[in-house]
Structure formats: C-alpha cells, structure tokens
C-alpha cells in the first residue's frame, strides 16, 4: 500500500501591509493626544460635564491644526457608551466601545461626514435636512461633520439656516473651515465657535521627536526644529515633511540629519545666511552678490534667502530687546546676533527689516527672481551707508561736519574760466556750487541728486558706480571741469559703496527736523485739539519758543 500525501493548496504569499502615512497613522484618537488646543479641550470638557452642549460647533484655523480630528473626537465624546455600555458623554471617550471604534474607522451610520467642496449645492443640504428628522439608528446623537463649510453656496447656507437654528434634539452639527470670513454671519451666530491655534514650533518639535522614536528613526534635534519651523503651525504639514525626511534618510542612512532636511526643503544654511548678512552690513556689494550666487548655485531659492535674512534680522532685534535665547539655538549663532545687536540701533534694524521685506515681496512677484534678489541686496548695501536721520540732525544742529553744510568757495563769474593757478574747490559741495555758477546747472543737479561720493580732492573726483549713471557722464563731467578750471581732472567710478547724495542728506535732515517739531509739546497739544490738522511747514522757532 503506497502512502498518499495531501499537499493541499500551495502556500500563498503574505499580503504586504499597506503603508499609512504618518499624518494618518498618528492622527489623535483622544483629546489628550490633540496638541496645542488646551483651551478648547477645557471648554468642551466643562460643557460636557455640565450638560451644556451646543447644537452646532464651528471649528476654524489654518490647515493641519486638527479641525476634522477635533470634530471626530467630539463625535466620539458625545456617543461613547464606555467599555460596559453604560457610559454617557465624556471628554475622555474610551476608544473601545462600538461607537468609538466605528467613528474612528469612519463607518458609523449615525456620524455622517461631508466635504462641502464637492457638495456645494442646495440639493445636498436638503438631503441633510430631510435625514435629520429621523432619529439616530444606534448612537446617542446623529452627527453631521461638514468640512470646508465655507464652500457651500449662498442658497445652500440659506436652506440650512432654519434647521441649524432649531435642530431636532438628537442632531449635532460640526462645521470645519479654514476661511471663516466666508461663512455668513447668520450661520456664525447659530454656532459655538472654536478657533484652533497654530501649534508652536516647540510643541511640534517635541511631537515629531516622539513620532520619530515610535518609528524607530534617529533624528537630530536641529532637523526636527527645521521641520517644525517649515510646518508653520500645522501638525499635518510637519508630519508630511518628516515622512519625506525619513524616506530620504532611508536612502542616505544615518537617520534624519539637519543638512539633509535643509537640502530637501531648499532652505538656506544658517551659517551662510549669517555670512551674507554680515557682508551686507559692511556695505560690500560684490561680496554680497557672490555669497548669494553661491547659495543659488546650491539650489536655494532666492525667496528662501530673503526669508532667512528676515528671520535673522528679526532674531537680532529680539536679542537687542533682551529676550530669552531660543531652545536649541547654536552658541555661535547667538554670539553673532548679540554682536549685531550691540552695533546696530533699533532704527537701523527697523530700516533693514523694511528693505528686506520689500525685497522679499519683489522677489516673490518677479519674472527674474535671482536678478530681483540681487537688486534688493544692493539696495540694502547702499542703505547701510546712509546716516541715521536723527544723528545727522544732531550733527547739523551742533554745527558738525557734513557734506551738505560745507561752505563753497567764491566761484568765478559765469562764463569765465578758473586758471590753473587759481585755487580749486576744496569740497565736493564747493565743486557743485562752481558748476552751478558757471552755467552747468544740469550737471550740478545730477551730482546733487544722483552722485554718491567715494572720494574727493581738488583735481580728483571718485564716484560710486553702485548708483546708476549715464554711460558718458564721467567723460562729460571731466571735459566740463577742464574747460571751467583749465586743469586736467581725474574723474572715475568705482564699484564700492559711496556716501549719501547731497539731496538725500538734505531730505534726511528735513525729515529729522520735522519729526522733532512734531514731538514738541505745543505741536502735540495742537494735534490733540485738532486731529484733522496737518503740518505743512515749520521753523526752528517753534522749538525755541518752548523755552
């Protein structure tokens, strides 16, 4: 008798587990896991304990702060029956009873989720109204969760109003939106509103560290801090970035590194940003452009460079105010910021912020972003050489030196020439006065309004080429000076920062004087008595009369 063997069916390969992205895998399942929304959780907990539950809730906030997750948690809290089936509404749903598990899995028949972006019409709302008349099948409450509710049409909102104001006792409405300003006031007034806050970078960093640990992935604290800042208060956005960073680390090995995250996000290296800002503050235009191009060649977006510079200026201003250092901030970074804070006044920091902010907006709109970024940085370089208006006004008031107040020498009569033996103008202002007196008003005006002086000596004039000027301007000026003085002049342009133009100095002094006048007690009193008044002209006698 031969043995027989029942081989049965061949073994089947095990089904690969479908990967769930971190944003879904770590969606909060209890209010304790919902980070950054403690005030809302406290309010909801008190309302549930006292039985003061609203019939409609409106959850607002930026993307990824937990609006839909909160709506599902509220649905759980209201319908939880506890492990023994005898429980009531609670701020701590058990998560094991049938309603809790069905809601978590999105299959509860009495918890209806609707995306208003794809159900915008009045017919969709009518279906909700008709269905709301019937009692819940198996839950304590029939709950309607409408996401992005601001997408409903005007007619749909109007159709919902009556039911929303006086719904059946077994119905609760939970609305979520990122654009609460688009929700009609008539709807807002019928809902209990909760504004979910942006989650702080510190909280996000700690949350991402816990997720990385749960996933068995090593991550540098600086890398997690970069991801937290890039998330801009959104837990979902941050988890998506962390997911990408972990995948990148799987290829490169060694865990999630700050350098890899920086490359992945196209962020500018902080050390490179500090170097660039340092070059800008020294007024080195060529050095600034070279530093910018180095980052651009590495793939850093010009707008990201401007943003990083803005962050550096903001951080320096906070250091000057004496704020507590950022958690995890590098020692060398703090030292550089303290050095800048000591050397720069608040006025200079505010001016630098405004210039960079304007540049950031220009780069964002520009057809040629890198070129726009270069021009914005050159504007910052030029502004770094301008004097502080208040300090300039004090120098002028004290009779101190200044290019706009130098005394011009007596010039020859119009039409005559200054001989080689005659004394040449000792100052740049005197040179301009000589040109004006000799009938060269156009050249004099151009020098006053557009020329940035680098160096002047009788017979030699060096201007900054950072200020745009006509191609033949240097040649024309050289010929006119030779004709007027009878002597050969050396006129040239150099690629270095120059002094403010005479017109800029004059305007700065006038602005400083105007600001000082506005701060005098008599003028302040006048504006308080006549708010619509305007200061059209002023005189230093106003200040002297205060005595």
42-101: pLDDT as tens digits: 998 898 888 888 899 999 988 888 899 999 999 999 999 989 888 889 999 998 999 999
**Does the pLDDT value for residue 406 go beyond 50?**
no
Say if residues 341 and 320 touch (Cβ distance below 8 Å).
yes
Q: Mind listing the pLDDT tens digit for each residue in 218-251?
A: 888 888 988 888 888 889 988 998 988 888 776 5
State percent of the chain over pLDDT 70.
Answer: 82
Decide: pTM greater than 0.85.
no
Q: Mind listing the pLDDT tens digit for each residue in 327-367?
A: 556 677 788 888 888 888 888 888 899 999 999 999 999 99
Query: What would the DSSP string read from start to end of 205-231?
Result: HHHHHHHHHHTT--B-HHHHHHHHHHH
**Does the pLDDT value for residue 425 go beyond 80?**
yes
Tokens of 70: 């909160």
Q: Is the dihedral of CA 42, 47, 53, 54 positive or negative?
A: negative
Domains of the chain: 22-195 (3.40.50.300), 201-265 (1.10.8.60), 270-384 (1.20.272.10), 428-499 (no CATH), 509-545 (no CATH)
Residue 6 pLDDT: 54
Residue 436's pLDDT band (boundaries 50, 70, 90)? confident
Which residue did the predictor score with more confidence, 28 or 399? 28
Say if residues 256 and 224 touch (Cβ distance below 8 Å).
yes
Residue 269 pLDDT: 67
Residue 328 pLDDT: 54
Residue keyed to tokens 């769930």? 20
Of 165-174, 226-235, 283-292, 470-479, the one with minimum mean pLDDT is: 470-479
Half-sphere exposure of 87 (CA within 13 A, CB side): 24
Q: Which of 202, 199, 197 is nearest to 325 (CA)?
A: 202
Tokens of 268: 């500018």
Say if residues 400 and 333 touch (Cβ distance below 8 Å).
no
Residue 544 pLDDT: 42
| β-bridge mates for residue 195, sequence order | 60
Residue 402's pLDDT band (boundaries 50, 70, 90)? very low
3-state secondary structure of 216: coil
Q: What is the mean pLDDT of the chain?
A: 81
Q: What is the mean pLDDT of residues 417-431?
A: 68
């Amino acid at each position: 008798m031969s043995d027989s063997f029942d081989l049965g069916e061949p073994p089947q390969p095990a089904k690969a587990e479908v990967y769930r992205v971190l944003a879904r895998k770590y969606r909060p399942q209890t209010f304790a896991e919902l980070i950054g929304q403690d005030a809302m959780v406290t309010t909801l907990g008190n309302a549930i304990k006292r039985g003061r539950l609203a019939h409609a809730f409106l959850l607002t906030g930026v993307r990824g702060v937990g609006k839909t997750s909160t709506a599902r948690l509220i649905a759980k809290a209201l319908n939880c029956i506890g492990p023994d089936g005898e429980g009531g509404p609670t701020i701590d749903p058990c998560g094991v009873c049938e309603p809790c598990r069905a809601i978590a899995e999105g299959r509860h028949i009495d918890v209806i989720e609707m995306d208003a972006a794809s159900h915008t019409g009045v017919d969709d709302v009518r279906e909700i109204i008709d269905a709301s008349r019937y009692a819940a099948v198996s839950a304590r409450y029939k709950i309607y969760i409408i996401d992005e509710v601001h997408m409903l049409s005007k007619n749909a909102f109007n159709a919902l109003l009556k039911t929303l104001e006086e719904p059946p006792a077994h119905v609760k409405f939970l609305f979520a939106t990122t654009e609460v300003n688009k929700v009609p006031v008539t709807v807002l007034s019928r809902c209990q509103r909760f504004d979910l806050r942006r989650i702080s970078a510190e909280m996000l960093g700690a949350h991402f560290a816990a997720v990385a640990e749960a996933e068995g992935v090593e991550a540098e604290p600086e890398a997690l801090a970069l991801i937290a800042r890039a998330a801009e208060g959104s837990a979902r956005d941050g988890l998506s970035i962390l997911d990408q960073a972990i995948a990148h680390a799987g290829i490169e090995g060694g865990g999630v590194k700050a350098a890899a995250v920086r490359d992945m996000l196209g962020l500018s290296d902080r050390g490179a940003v500090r170097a660039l800002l340092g070059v800008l503050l020294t007024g080195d235009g060529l050095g600034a452009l070279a530093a910018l191009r180095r980052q651009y060649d590495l793939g850093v977006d010009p707008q990201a460079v401007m943003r990083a510079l803005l962050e550096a200026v903001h951080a320096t201003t906070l250091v000057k105010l004496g704020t507590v250092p950022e958690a995890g901030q590098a020692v060398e970074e703090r030292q550089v910021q303290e050095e800048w804070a000591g050397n720069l006044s608040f006025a200079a920091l505010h001016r630098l912020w405004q210039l960079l902010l304007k540049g950031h907006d220009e780069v964002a709109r520009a057809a040629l972003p890198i070129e726009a970024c270069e021009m914005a940085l050159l504007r910052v370089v030029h502004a770094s050489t301008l004097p502080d208006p208040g300090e300039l006004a004090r120098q002028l008031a004290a009779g101190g030196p200044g290019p706009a107040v130098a005394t011009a020498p007596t010039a020859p009569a119009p039409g005559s020439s200054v001989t080689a033996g005659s004394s040449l103008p000792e100052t740049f202002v005197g040179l301009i006065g000589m040109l004006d007196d000799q009938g060269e008003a156009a050249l004099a005006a151009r020098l006053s309004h557009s020329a940035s002086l680098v160096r002047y000596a009788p017979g030699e004039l060096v201007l900054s080429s950072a200020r745009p000027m006509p191609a033949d301007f240097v040649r024309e000026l050289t010929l006119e000076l030779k004709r007027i003085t009878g002597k050969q002049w050396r006129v040239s342009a150099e690629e270095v920062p120059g002094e403010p133009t005479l017109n800029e100095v004059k305007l700065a002094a006038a602005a400083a004087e105007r600001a000082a006048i506005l701060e005098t007690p008599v003028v302040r009193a006048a504006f308080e008595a006549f708010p619509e008044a305007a200061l059209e002209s002023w005189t230093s006698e106003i200040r002297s009369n205060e005595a």
